[in-house]
Each structure stands twice: as structure tokens, then as C-alpha cells.
């Protein structure tokens, strides 16, 4: 039993790690003492000067392990050999949580954003920033068919990535179905919905689903939603950027 529990805790820890890459990204994050690092990874082929030397010195000062790798090994860690610049790091993100913890990790009354197929890293970063600034308690971000939490997302979020809980799972529909069974109202954003965000009266547990930039909410996810909601448009405008939509949801009343 103890071995099983230890395995689960170890697995949960490694799943909570977010890998970032790029010399300036890693250096800037090392300078932020509020961000917890697990390890820094560097290619053995790096020249030991400039930013590389600063990263090593700062990691040593903070007591963070620096592990050296071949260029091929580092590429497998960063998963972006073109842009990693021979440097990657594992961030121990306490706010990157398994979806199985919902709703136990949330208050009795909560408002979540669920992202269904968001592909653009800049959109994802801006969504996170708006959610963190507004009245959103967490974001559900499936691993399948979604943008990854990359340096591009971190930059677009303006450093707010670690300020709001982000729940990860393989796919979105099973999580939404479980939340619906727990009593949550699941609203898909749709331009065809009769009810809009200004007239909607929500209950204690609400989840708003934002769909793919071009295709919207998928049929699979739409099938588990309890309703849909729109954003009123003027002057013949048909839709808004998904990040702008997220901002309106984050600051809506009710």
C-alpha cells in the first residue's frame, strides 16, 4: 500500500512539471524566486560564457541541480531542438494540477474556463492572463489537441501562468461530464445561443467552454454541455478572438 501511494505521489509530481526552454527564458525565470525549479538541463556543447554562465551561477546560488546532456538528449527534453538554444528547465508548478482533483480542490462556488482545442500559444497565454486577473478559479487544459505550456505561452501570459490553477487531463469531455454529474452547469460559447453573458444567471458551479479558433466547440464536448451562451455583437461583427472572449467571461457579473 505504501509503495502504491509513493508511486502515485511520484507520478503526480512529475506530471506537475512544466518544461521550458531557451536561454533568456530560463535566466529570467531563475531570477524570479517565486518560481520553483526542479532541474536545469544544458547541452554539453554550450560555450561556457555569457547567458550560459549566468544560468549556471544563478542555479548554483539557488541550489538547483544542473544536469548536462548531449545535444540529442537535450532535444528530447525540450521537444524543440530549433529553439531551445541548448538550455531547458523543469518548473515545479504547484498550480499545474490533475483534473481528478476537481471539484475537491475548489470552493463550493466556482467558475472555470475549459479550453477545447485552443492551438495558438499566444491565445492561450492571453486567456491565462485574463483568467488570472478576473473572476476565474481555474482553467481546464487538456493535453490532447491543445497548445502546450511553452515559453511562448509564458511570454503571452505576461508572467501570470503560475498565478492561477491549471488542470490537466488527456481529453476534455470526460472531465466536463464528471463535473456535470457533480452539479456544475457547463456552457459552450456559441454565436447561435439565445442567452447571452449579460442575461445569464449562473449557479454555484459554472464552467465556460471556449472552442477552437476556427472550428469552435467540438461535437464531442458540445454533447456534454448543459447549455450555451453568446456574446452580443453589433454592426454585423460575427465573432471575437477567443482570448477576447475569455476576458469578457472572466469579468462578467453573476
Residues of the chain scoring pLDDT < 70: 1-2, 254
Q: What is the pLDDT of residue 151?
A: 84
Per the omega criterion (within 30 degrees of 0), is the bond before 103 cis? yes
Q: What is the pLDDT of residue 9?
A: 74
Beta bridge pairs of residue 20 = 89
CB atoms within 10 A of CB 5: 9
Note the pLDDT tens digit of each residue in 74-111. Answer: 999 998 999 999 999 999 888 999 998 887 778 888 99
Residue 196 DSSP symbol: B
Kindly report the pTM of this predicted structure: 0.85
What does the pLDDT read at residue 1? 58
Of 140, 77, 75, give the one whose Cα is nearest residue 112: 140
Instruction: Give the other-Cβ count within 10 Å of 254's Cβ.
Output: 12
DSSP 13-56: HHHTEEEEE-HHHHHHHHT-TTSPEEEEEEETTS-SSHHHHHHH
| Domain coordinates in residue numbering, the chain | 17-92, 96-250
Q: Is 59 helix (H, G, I), strand (E, B) or coil?
A: helix
pLDDT of residue 44: 96
For residue 253, the model assigns a pLDDT of 79
Q: How far is CA 197 from CA 134, 136, 224, 227, in A?
A: 15, 15, 20, 12
Q: Largest Cα–Cα distance of the chain, in whole Å?
A: 63
**Domain 17-92 identical in fold to domain 96-250:** no
Helix axes 50-62, 23-30, angle to 10 degrees: 30
For residue range 139-148, what is the model confidence (pLDDT) as tens digits? 999 999 999 8
CATH numeric code, 96-250: 3.40.1280.10
Which is the CATH superfamily of the domain at 17-92? Ribosomal protein L30/S12 (3.30.1330.30)
Nearest to 154 by CA among 204, 93, 196: 93
Q: For residues 243 and 227, what is the distance between their CA atoms, to the nearest angstrom? A: 21
pLDDT at 49: 86
Amino acid at each position: 500500500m505504501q509503495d502504491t501511494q509513493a508511486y502515485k505521489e511520484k507520478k503526480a509530481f512529475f506530471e506537475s512539471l512544466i518544461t521550458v526552454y531557451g536561454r533568456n527564458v530560463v535566466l529570467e525565470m531563475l531570477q524570479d524566486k517565486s518560481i520553483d525549479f526542479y532541474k536545469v538541463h544544458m547541452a554539453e556543447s554550450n560555450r561556457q560564457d555569457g547567458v550560459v554562465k549566468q544560468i549556471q551561477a544563478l542555479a548554483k546560488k539557488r541550489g538547483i541541480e544542473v544536469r548536462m546532456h548531449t545535444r540529442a538528449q537535450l532535444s528530447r527534453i525540450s521537444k524543440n531542438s530549433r529553439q531551445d538554444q541548448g538550455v531547458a528547465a523543469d518548473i515545479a508548478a504547484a498550480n499545474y494540477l490533475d483534473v481528478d482533483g476537481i471539484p475537491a480542490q475548489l470552493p463550493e462556488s466556482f467558475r472555470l474556463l475549459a479550453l477545447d482545442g485552443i492551438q495558438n500559444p499566444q491565445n492561450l497565454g492571453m486567456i491565462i492572463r485574463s483568467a488570472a486577473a478576473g473572476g476565474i478559479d481555474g482553467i481546464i487544459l487538456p493535453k490532447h489537441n491543445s497548445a502546450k505550456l511553452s515559453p511562448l505561452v509564458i511570454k503571452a501570459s505576461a508572467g501570470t501562468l503560475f498565478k492561477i490553477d491549471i488542470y490537466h487531463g488527456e481529453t476534455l469531455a470526460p472531465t466536463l461530464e464528471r463535473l456535470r454529474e457533480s452539479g456544475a452547469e457547463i456552457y459552450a460559447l456559441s454565436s447561435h445561443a439565445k442567452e447571452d453573458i449579460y442575461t445569464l444567471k449562473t449557479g454555484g458551479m459554472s464552467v465556460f467552454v471556449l472552442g477552437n479558433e476556427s472550428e469552435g466547440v467540438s461535437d464531442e464536448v458540445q454533447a456534454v454541455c448543459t447549455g450555451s451562451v453568446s456574446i452580443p455583437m453589433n454592426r454585423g461583427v460575427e465573432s471575437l478572438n477567443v482570448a477576447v472572449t475569455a476576458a469578457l467571461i472572466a469579468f462578467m457579473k453573476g
